[in-house]
Structure formats: C-alpha cells, structure tokens
Amino acid sequence: MFTKEFKLAAVQRLERGSSIGEAARALEVNPNVLHRWRREIRQGPGNVFPGQGKQRWADGRIAELERKIGQQTLEIDFLKGSLQRIEQQRMLQALTGNPPSTRGSRKK
C-alpha cells in the first residue's frame, strides 16, 4: 500500500538529489508515479494524498506467492537430500573399491 508517509518519503528522496530512475528502482515504483507525487506536493501541501492509498498486492496474490515459496522449499530440501545420498554412495564406493553400478549396462 502506498501510504501518505511512503509517498512523502519518496518525494523527499527526490528532493535530496536522487534521480527519478534511481528512486523508482529502489522503491519499486513507476517513474511516472514519482513525477505525479512530486507535482501533487508542489501544487499544494495542505491536502496532499488524502486517500487511504492503493493496495500494492492483493491478499490472494500474497497467499499464492507464499504457497509457491513453500512448495519450492520442499522441492529444494528433497533435492538436497537426494544429492547428499548420491555423494555418500560415491564416497562409499570409492573407499571400498567397488565400481559404481550402472543399471542398464550389464550384459546378460
């Protein structure tokens, strides 16, 4: 949500010398929005940003992204465990001198 305080801080950043592009990237805001906020403040500070602000991310989108992060965490943990088991098997085979098994290459 772009609160009044956020908007004021963004414009103050510009007033301290940050370029529009720099501030836009750092704040993840469209440069045109920063131009508009600065213009609104300059037009009259008495009634600047009277609304409640625009919600940046809908709650549903946040929940969706949190679920996706959880799923990816599970997948990463599974792959890390698999990789550890493979490495342990390789080390054990190297210590015992047994060649690694290759499942489809045996002659019958």
- Tokens standing for residue 50: 């009277």
| Segment 55-101, tens digit of pLDDT | 555 667 778 888 999 999 999 999 999 999 999 999 999 998 876 66
| Segment 71-84, tens digit of pLDDT | 999 999 999 999 99
pLDDT band at 47 (very low <50, low <70, confident <90, very high): low
Largest CA distance in the chain: 89
CA 4-8-12 angle, 5° bins: 170
pLDDT of residue 76: 94
**63-101: string of b/e by CB count within 10 Å (b at 16+)?**
eeeeeeeeeeeeeeeeeeeeeeeeeeeeeeeeeeeeeee
Task: Tally Cβ neighbours within 10 Å of residue 31.
Answer: 14
